[in-house]
Structure 1
Amino acid sequence: MSDDIYKNLKQLGGDTIQPTSPEAAELERVQNPQSDISYNVRFTAPEFTSLCPMTGQPDFAHLVIDYVPGDWLVESKSLKLFLTSFRNHGAFHEDCTISIARRLNDFLAPKWLRIGGYWYPRGGIPIDVFWQTGEMPRDVWIPDQGVPPYRGRG
């Protein structure tokens, strides 16, 4: 395989500065060398954090992102930096989860994408947020996200 598909990456393999906000975070992508077949890619972020926009207190979530790539793959370091840019970002659970999904969907134009945002309780209520781009592909193995309903999630 040619390294040419990686030549434009700026963050991987070098020092990077943590983005100060999701808007400042730069996602990077590479050409999908296996674009002739459909397969699932899963990213799990069990320690996602953001801030409550009202109290400034931290909110914690377990995110599971599944996507069936088209022509592009997201570069994982840039995704990690994007996700950690929410640490000082104030937004409700729904907004954080859907903002991540929309940004990835717009950037990658995958064949299919879904996100599960499993938020830990604040005020005694867990809020789980789910979104996907359409029907689940029938020709791709996409396992259950594996996060149980809240019962002291962990």
Structure 2
Amino acid sequence: MLRWLLLIPFALLFAIGSGLVALLIAGVASPDLGLLIGGGFDRLISALFDQAERGFDPGPTAEAAFSLLGRLGFAILVLPVVLVAIASELFRFRSGLIQSGLTGLLAALLPLAMLGMARAPRAGEMQVVAALLLVGAATGFVYWLIAGRGAGGEKREPQRQA
């Protein structure tokens, strides 16, 4: 019970924080992801100031944009690691490879599902998806390092048959 109350939430918070750091590193390493992150914020701020200069209220635009950014951030950093952590605890997955792989897969696919990709991604978009997969895998691995190795409760000794 102490594991569910203390260790798992701590591991999730630490993993999500490390996922944010990994996302920033991926933004520097991948030009397309860096342009998406940096260029997106630059365009958003410019659009909000343009609306304000023209006499329009930028509030609804800002609210919609930050709502989308929050949902995407949740889908990339929080939801994958939480879902895999719950599954690993319930089904006793102790493998770091499974934990990292599933978290990476969900981190790459959930944003695509949210945005409703109706076409095949282009090369630059595939680079972003690959970066998200690696960010998710790093997040899952950090969770596994802290709490995943003992998934499912106490480790049990195999019973010997007489």
Fold shared per TM-score above 0.5 = no
Which fold has the larger relative contact order, with Cα–Cα distance below 8 Å and residues 6 or more apart in sequence? 2
TM-score, scaled to structure 2: 0.29
- Structure with the largest fraction of helix: 2
- Structure with the largest fraction of strand: 1
Q: Which structure has the larger Rg over C-alpha atoms?
A: 2
